[in-house]
A and B are shown apart, each in its own frame.
Chain A
């Protein structure tokens, strides 16, 4: 790669950082409870809107993994999300009324918080419907992983998005507050992911899963990206380019081995396809605040209108991380 394009990447990164810095004014602090954090805390960053029903399980799940503190941006919720979060002892809350789309789908706000509070710490950036699974997650807390990554000099940990879906139509099994969404959305596609290398940003571009199979079969290029790098030992000069799919400087995106071996990686179980989805899709369509003019949601609505069930005979029922590792969706690498 020539020096000019390397310099362009640098400019792009600087632009993203400036953008986040300027957008900081849209954030209004609500609660800040970061004064009594332990040494080297593991932080979770998230933007959300109207996710009250999902919150108890979400917070509980990540507390059990060993997240020390949650930094949440609430984007104009009106269903009690705001009030609920403000009461939590380990949540620091900001609220932002401005447009979700105009802030790069919340990434500008998150990046400002990352730079402000995440530098030098392990930071997990996830949506409220994404649940991290990593090797040995049943027996080892997240800190065991971050300690190990530290000792091996690794700064990023990739976790592919894995769409989970129920058997039968989505509205058949309503989601109750506090329940694990994977009691309902138990299934996933185990082996239909296409991978290509993005030579510009050095990341892998992964697409596939039930969404590509059903909603994007005729326009596969438009299928959503599944590659994610949610866990990063943050530095103030880092920037997420598009959601948490890739980072700058691009060396951070080399979470894969090119010489034939496997690096450790995890999965983000994606609990999007619950009974709450239809309402969400409708709302997002109206707001038009989602990625690529919400065409993703449009595709789902059309797909769902035909009463399509995401489940097929080859759907795999989720058991645990070892199953995902055997199927080749994630890897233990040399972490034993």
Chain B
């Protein structure tokens, strides 16, 4: 009993020859098929290099264009040669020229000896979950494919669409149940002979000649007709990216490959000297324990990075369009309108209570008010208002990206540059809290006369009304909570608790201290004066004179004690 290896080669023939030598020296006869598009001189050089090995043979050559029957044809030619020339071969292993055995050949032989009648071939029925990545599945068997996918992509796609629309379907021959699977398999002599000498073989070949990518379905389907025992997994480690292209292994994957339970890996970069040297060299004794999950994770991560990317990152190779994350930051952040105006120590309180970084008015027209009055902030963000206003969206997404892991909060109000509002409104990461009408409190405290204040207040009310309208538009994705000043003052503790819950949902500690409310005695009269001057302070709500008798400190007793 012995193992025979069929190798399909089309590039990097020197590496293929090196691997063939390795197989042959370990007692495995090899039949090599070289793509007929490879120049004869290259093939001659390869043959000359392997001339000293009697157990390495070459099969007749056919052209192997990807996705066509040529690859199956080549496999059939080489396998036939193998079965004829080496009568004591009991298993045939199909490998490519860029496959590399990553465990000792003796291990593979022992494995096959332990499973003498088993065919190791991935074979998945198309009726169930799709095996393919980003391509045709069942339709590979039922449509016609006269055009080359590589050279005539548009025609290929158009013809597929046309057939779908016209509902053209090929008839699947009697007895064939479409199965798909990795093209790299290891079959027993019995099964392989049964496939190759099957009475229906001409009919099979005729059918599969027109199937799309038959190398992933020919043996995988037919083996179901002849085999007694199929183990549906490939002994070859081959990972595919999101477009169905194989991942390539490099020198820095050495450690990963040594942890793989597979016997052969594909595909290896031809210049990965270290890999070839290590795995074709001496048996290394202290292999780490197999850990296939690690390899899976690495490649799954790569695919995820390519298809989903890091949320909230805008950079040279990730710039999502609208609807794909163009309006989305890296993490939740708080936008606070009106709080700073009502409390004397709101920022330090919020910093303490929410464990967040609390900035001032980041969109102040004069200067970016970073927390702590810094002139430059994390990532090198400048406090220059001109730079910020040049591209406010980049400014904000940069800030949130740079401070991943720490919640950012900033004050916002009608006195700020409003360009960013559209972005905030559509950003699902934004948590916006508005006490509408709070802008009136600093105006009242400024000591200006009501007549002076009225136009200012009216303008700010207009800006704030626009702000609220944008934040409550149908396109809004931000989480917006809004109270009128009157509502807020009725019971400030509850909105503040709400704010903390939203900004720091995982914190379990209860708030015991609350910020200090500015004294509001006389504010009710001020609002009435505004009314008398002809302004309608809608955003403030119904403030009555009762404020004047309200306590200066917050009614802490009214805090909810249990959540």
Using a CB–CB cutoff of 8 Å, the interface residues on chain A facing chain B are 136, 139-141, 143-144, 147-148, 151-152, 158-160, 189-197, 204, 206, 209-210, 212-213, 216-221, 227, 255-265, 312-315, 328-336
When distances are taken between beta carbons in the complex, the residues of chain B under 8 Å from A263 are 306, 317-318
Q: Which of B306, B374, B382, B386 contacts A261 (CB 8 A)?
A: B306
When distances are taken between beta carbons in the complex, the residues of chain B under 8 Å from A210 are 380
Stretch in B160-168, B245-253, B501-509 touching the partner: B245-253
When distances are taken between beta carbons in the complex, the residues of chain B under 8 Å from A152 are 243, 245
With A152-B245, A192-B380, A315-B380 as contacts: A336 and B302 at CB distance below 8 Å: yes
When distances are taken between beta carbons in the complex, the residues of chain B under 8 Å from A329 are 315-316
Are A334 and B241 touching (Cβ within 8 A)? yes
When distances are taken between beta carbons in the complex, the residues of chain A under 8 Å from B248 are 147-148, 151
With A195-B394, A218-B386, A258-B321 as contacts: A328 and B377 at CB distance below 8 Å: no
When distances are taken between beta carbons in the complex, the residues of chain A under 8 Å from B395 are 194
Are B386 and A193 touching (Cβ within 8 A)? no
When distances are taken between beta carbons in the complex, the residues of chain B under 8 Å from A213 are 376, 380, 382, 384, 387
Give the CA-CA distance A257 to B307 in the complex, in Å: 9
Can you list 14 contacts pairing A with B, beta carbon distance less than 8 Å? A139-B250, A144-B250, A144-B271, A206-B316, A213-B384, A217-B384, A220-B386, A256-B318, A258-B319, A258-B324, A261-B309, A328-B401, A331-B315, A335-B302
Are A264 and B315 touching (Cβ within 8 A)? no
When distances are taken between beta carbons in the complex, the residues of chain B under 8 Å from A334 are 241-242, 302-303, 305-306
Give the CA-CA distance A159 to B247 in the complex, in Å: 23
Q: Is the interface of A mostly helix, strand, loop or mixed?
A: loop
* Cβ contacts B240-282/A at 8 Å (1 or 0 each): 0111010110111000000000000000010100000000000
Q: Closest CB-CB distance, B130 to chain A, in whole Å?
A: 20
When distances are taken between beta carbons in the complex, the residues of chain A under 8 Å from B398 are 191-194
Classify chain B's interface size.
35 or more
Q: Closest CB-CB distance, B319 to chain A, in whole Å?
A: 5
When distances are taken between beta carbons in the complex, the residues of chain B under 8 Å from A160 are 315-316
When distances are taken between beta carbons in the complex, the residues of chain A under 8 Å from B379 are 189-192, 314
When distances are taken between beta carbons in the complex, the residues of chain B under 8 Å from A212 are 382, 387
Q: Which of A148, A159, A194, A265 contacts B394 (CB 8 A)?
A: A194
Give the CA-CA distance A194 to B386 in the complex, in Å: 13
* Cβ contacts B308-348/A at 8 Å (1 or 0 each): 11100111111111001100000000000000000000000
Residue of B nearest to A152 (CB): B245
Q: Which of B269, B305, B306 contacts A147 (CB 8 A)?
A: B269
With A143-B271, A328-B401, A336-B302 as contacts: A262 and B310 at CB distance below 8 Å: yes
When distances are taken between beta carbons in the complex, the residues of chain B under 8 Å from A140 are 250-252
Give the CA-CA distance A255 to B314 in the complex, in Å: 13
The answer to whether the Cβ of B391 comes within 8 Å of any Cβ in the partner chain is: yes
Q: Closest CB-CB distance, A55 to chain B, in whole Å?
A: 28
Give the CA-CA distance A333 to B381 in the complex, in Å: 26
Q: Which of A204, A227, A262 contacts B306 (CB 8 A)?
A: A262
Are A332 and B318 touching (Cβ within 8 A)? no
Give the CA-CA distance A314 to B371 in the complex, in Å: 14
Which residue among B303, B305, B374 has the maximum number of chain A CB atoms within 10 Å of its CB? B305
Are B318 and A331 touching (Cβ within 8 A)? yes
Residue of B nearest to A190 (CB): B379
Q: Which of B303, B318, B377, B394 contacts A257 (CB 8 A)?
A: B318
When distances are taken between beta carbons in the complex, the residues of chain B under 8 Å from A158 are 316-317
When distances are taken between beta carbons in the complex, the residues of chain A under 8 Å from B247 are 336
The answer to whether the Cβ of B482 comes within 8 Å of any Cβ in the partner chain is: no
Q: Report the 4 A-B pairs with minimum CB-CB distance, sorted nearest first.
A: A191-B379, A189-B380, A334-B306, A336-B302
Q: Closest CB-CB distance, A254 to chain B, in whole Å?
A: 10
Give the CA-CA distance A209 to B248 in the complex, in Å: 35
When distances are taken between beta carbons in the complex, the residues of chain B under 8 Å from A257 are 306, 309, 317-320
Are B390 and A220 touching (Cβ within 8 A)? yes
When distances are taken between beta carbons in the complex, the residues of chain A under 8 Å from B301 are 336
Q: Which of B305, B308, B378 contacts A191 (CB 8 A)?
A: B378
Q: Which of A190, A195, A220 contacts B314 (CB 8 A)?
A: A195
When distances are taken between beta carbons in the complex, the residues of chain A under 8 Å from B324 are 258-260
Q: Closest CB-CB distance, B291 to chain A, in whole Å?
A: 16
Q: Which of B241, B316, B387 contacts A255 (CB 8 A)?
A: B316
The answer to whether the Cβ of B299 comes within 8 Å of any Cβ in the partner chain is: yes
Residue of B nearest to A147 (CB): B269
With A265-B317, A313-B376 as contacts: A194 and B305 at CB distance below 8 Å: no
Which residue among B247, B317, B384 has the maximum number of chain A CB atoms within 10 Å of its CB? B317
Residue of A nearest to B295 (CB): A336
Are A328 and B305 touching (Cβ within 8 A)? no
When distances are taken between beta carbons in the complex, the residues of chain A under 8 Å from B319 are 195, 197, 204, 256-258
Q: Closest CB-CB distance, A321 to chain B, in whole Å?
A: 12
Give the CA-CA distance A88 to B379 in the complex, in Å: 41
When distances are taken between beta carbons in the complex, the residues of chain A under 8 Å from B386 are 217-220
The answer to whether the Cβ of B528 comes within 8 Å of any Cβ in the partner chain is: no
When distances are taken between beta carbons in the complex, the residues of chain A under 8 Å from B321 are 258-259
Which residue among B320, B390, B394, B402 has the maximum number of chain A CB atoms within 10 Å of its CB? B390
Give the CA-CA distance A123 to B395 in the complex, in Å: 34
